[in-house]
Amino acid sequence: MKYITRTIWILSIISLFTDIASEMLYPVMPIYLKSIGFSIVLIGVLEGIAEATAGLSKGYFGKLSDNSGKRVPFVRIGYAFSSLSRPMMAVFTFPVWIFLARTIDRFGKGIRTGARDAMLSDEATPQTKGKIFGFHRSMDTLGAVFGPALALLYLYYYPQDYKTLFYVAFIPGLFAVAASFLLKDKTRVSDKEKTKVSFFSFLQYWKASPTPYRKLVAGLLLFTLFNSSDVFLLLKAKESGLDDAMVIGMYIFYNLIYALFAFPLGILADKVGLKTIFISGLILFASVYFGMAMSVNQYLFFGLFALYGIYSAATEGISKAWISNITDKKDTATAIGTFSGLQSIATMLASSLTGIIWFRFGATTAFITTACITVIVIVYFIGIPKPDNTH
C-alpha cells in the first residue's frame, strides 16, 4: 500500500465525505422538490441545467488548471461550492433560488474534477494507475453507501423532515472542505503560454489531442449516449413490486458492491491491462441490461445490481486511468476535463433518449436497445490498441 500516498489519502477522504453529503440527499431530492411545488417537468429541467453546467465547466477548469500549473485551488474551491449549496436548498424555496443552489453544486464539481484527477494521476506511475484510481473510486463510493443509509435512519425517526436533512448534509461537506486545506501543490512549472482561456477553449484540445485519445473517447461517448441514469434501473425494480425502502436498499447494495470491487479491480487492471478489465466491465453491463429487459423476479434484481456494481468498479476509474496513460502529463486535467464534460452532456442526452424509448415502446425495448449498442461498443473497443506505459 506504499503507493497510496498522503495526497491520495486526503483526496479520497475528501471524496468520501463529499459523497456522504450528496448521497444523503439523493433519495429525497425529488420528494423534497415535489413537496415545495416543483413539477416533474421542472425537476427534469433543473437537473438538465445543473448537469450541463457541470459538464461544460469541467473542460474549461481542467484547461485552466493545466495552464496555471496549479491543482489545489481548483480542488478546494470546487468542494467548497458544493458544500455551500446544500444548506442553500433549504433556506428558501423559490424556484430561482433552488436553480441557483443546484447549479452552484454542479459548478463546484466542474471546477474540481479535472484538477483532482490530474493530482491522482501525478501521484501514480503508469504501472499503478489502476490501483490509485480504483482506490479513490472505492473511497468515493463508500460515501454512496453511508449517505443514503444515514438519510434512511434520520427519516425513520423524523419522517418527512426533508429540510433539516439539507442542513445535516452540510456537516460532512464541511469536513471535506477542511480536509482540502491539508493538500499541497507540487512545484510544477507550466510550459504553456499564459494566454486567456475562453469557456469553450478546451474543445480545441480535441483537435490537438493524440489519436489514441480521440479513438478512446469516441468509444466512451458512444457508450455514454445509451447509458442512461441509474434512476431507470431503480424504476424497473420499483415496477416489479419492490417498495420504496427496498429500492433505496437496492441502491445502497449496488454502491457497496461498487466500493468493495473498485480497488481490487484496479490492482488487477495494472496486472492484466486496463483495456481487458474495461471490456470485461462492458460485458457485465450488457448482461445486466439484457437481464433487466427479461426479469420480473424481485430476487433476481439483487443479483443484477451486484453485477452492475462490479461493472461500475471495472469502468469508472479505469477509463480515467486509461486516458491519463495515453495523454501528455502537462495536459492531464484538460484531457480528463474534456472527456468528463462531453460525458456529462452525453449522459443528459442518454436519459432523455431512454425516457423517450421507454415511453413509446416500453421498458423492455429501452433496456434491449442499450444492451445491443453496448455489444457494438465492445467490438469497437476490442479493436483499440492497449494503452502503452510511456507517459
Does residue 381 have a pLDDT over 90? yes
Mean pLDDT of the chain: 85
Give tens-digit pLDDT for 300-324: 888 999 999 999 999 988 998 898 8
How far apart, in whole angstroms, are the C-alpha atoms of residue 207 and residue 205? 5
- Do residues 24 and 251 touch, judged by C-beta distance below 8 A? no
Place of cell 423492455: 364
Model confidence at 194, in pLDDT bands (50, 70, 90)?
low
For residue 235, the model assigns a pLDDT of 78
Query: What is the predicted pLDDT for the residue at 238?
Result: 77
H/E stretch holding 105 reads helix 95-122
What is the per-residue pLDDT across 121-178, written as a single tens digit (0 to 9) for each?
888 887 888 889 899 999 999 998 999 889 888 888 888 788 888 899 999 999 999 9
Q: How far apart are CA 31 and CA 247, in angstroms?
A: 14
Query: Coil, strand or helix: which one is 195?
Result: coil
C-alpha cell at position 59: 473542460
Please determine, for residue 201, whether its predicted confidence score (pLDDT) is greater than 70: no
Q: What is the pLDDT of residue 390?
A: 42
Q: Which amino acid is at 322?
A: W
Count of beta carbons in the 10 Å neighbourhood of residue 42: 15
For the residues of 197-221, what is the DSSP string, one character each? PPTTTTHHHHHHS-HHHHHHHHHHH
Give the angle 155-159-164 at the CA atoms, nearest 5°.
70
Check whether 391 has a pLDDT greater than 50.
no
Domains of the chain: 6-184+207-382 (1.20.1250.20)
Round to whole Å and give the CA distance between 146 and 255.
9
DSSP SS3 for 123: coil
Instruction: Identify the CA nearest to 390 among candidates 192, 210, 260.
Output: 210
Read off the pLDDT of residues 214-271 as tens digits, 9 standing for 90 and up: 999 999 999 998 887 777 887 787 777 777 778 778 888 999 999 999 999 999 998 9
Task: Report pLDDT digits (tens) over 31-84.
Answer: 777 777 777 667 767 777 777 777 778 888 888 888 888 889 999 999 999 999
Q: Is the pTM of this model over 0.75?
A: yes
Confidence bin at 192 (pLDDT 50/70/90):
low
